[in-house]
Amino acid sequence: GTEQKKLLGKNIALIFEKSSTRTRCAFEVAAFDQGAQVSYIGPSGSQIGHKESMKDTARVLGRMYDGIEYRGFGQSIVEELGAYSGVPVWNGLTDEFHPTQILADFLTMQEHGRGKQLHEMAFAYLGDARNNMGNSLMVGAAKMGMDIRLVAPKAFWPEETLVTTCQEIALQTGAKITLTENVEEGVKGCDFLYTDVWVSMGESDQAWDERVALMTPYQVNMTVIEQTGNPHVKFMHCLPAFHNDETSLGKEVAKKYDMKGLEVTEDVFESEYSIVFDEAENRMHTIKAVMVATLGN
């Protein structure tokens, strides 16, 4: 009831070429709370990329909207949208990056950091470290001067060029970036453990066999929690998570691989260590802050 509406009279387009729960809800609620109107443009609801290029779409939407969110495929697409629309464009997720998630993650870390500043924190990301979450967490940690450990099979480390860029940033910020295949070494002393699904949106079903074989040693379970040596360690996940067999895909995976949890076990996900729902809520607060900062009256 005390919220000041700083986006009154603003019109915002939400382009979703990939499905979404948290990102869409966060943008919509944040916009409505601040007095803005939104138009949802879903995967089948427009001519984008079929009959009309993103360059042309950007110039049309920029005439009608004050800001545009894009969730979809290549990073080059959202950058083209930003280059030609003439209005603020927010990246709701691409194949390469997921920046609004990182803002929520770092806010959540501040809330649960037991008085530590971000640059005093250490966290490990386990699993597929070359996906958009691994990339984005590494960039964010480098910029904020954090101690990040990417704990993954070497074939799933981020691209060397991005690692080099982040290491150059780290020289200025005091960040520490470690890439390791050793779970025990990677998680020791961490304040937070983070993971994501082993197969990302848009990847083929055939990827599951390879990923389960390679990634199972990097599952976040109670043994890994104990290996941190930190009784106050917290578990994070951008969601959705495969932690049980209560979804249709979860059932298929559990039956095929005889595993009820994949990247994280049920006992960790539902434990006092888990802060995943605080993290999910913070998507809305941080997205609201970004929209107000870039578009607010």
Kindly tell me the burial class for residue 266, based on how many C-beta atoms sit within 10 Å of its own C-beta (0-12, 13-18, 19 or more): middle
98 is catalytic: yes
Say how far apart CA 279 and CA 166 lie, in whole Å: 24
Q: Which of 34, 101, 219, 227 is catalytic?
A: 101
Set 24, 196, 219, 227: catalytic member:
196
Q: Which of 22, 71, 211, 243 is catalytic?
A: 71
119 belongs to the catalytic site: no
Q: Are 146 and 121 in contact (CB under 8 A)?
A: yes
Rounded CA gap, 294 and 133, in Å?
23
Helix, strand, coil % in the chain, rounded to nearest 5: 45, 15, 35
Instruction: Report residue 226 as tokens.
Output: 């104990």
Cα-to-chain-centroid distance, residue 6: 26
The reply to whether 101 belongs to the active site is: yes
Annotated active-site residue in 98, 130, 149, 243 = 98
Measured from the Cβ of residue 253, the count of other Cβ atoms closer than 10 Å reads 21
Angle of CA points 167, 173, 179, to nearest 5°: 35
Catalytic annotation present for 196:
yes
Are 273 and 233 a contacting pair, CB within 8 Å? yes
Q: Which of 34, 191, 238, 243 is catalytic?
A: 238
What is the rounded distance in angstroms from the CA atom of residue 68 to the CA atom of residue 66? Answer: 7
Catalytic residues: 71, 98, 101, 196, 238, 283
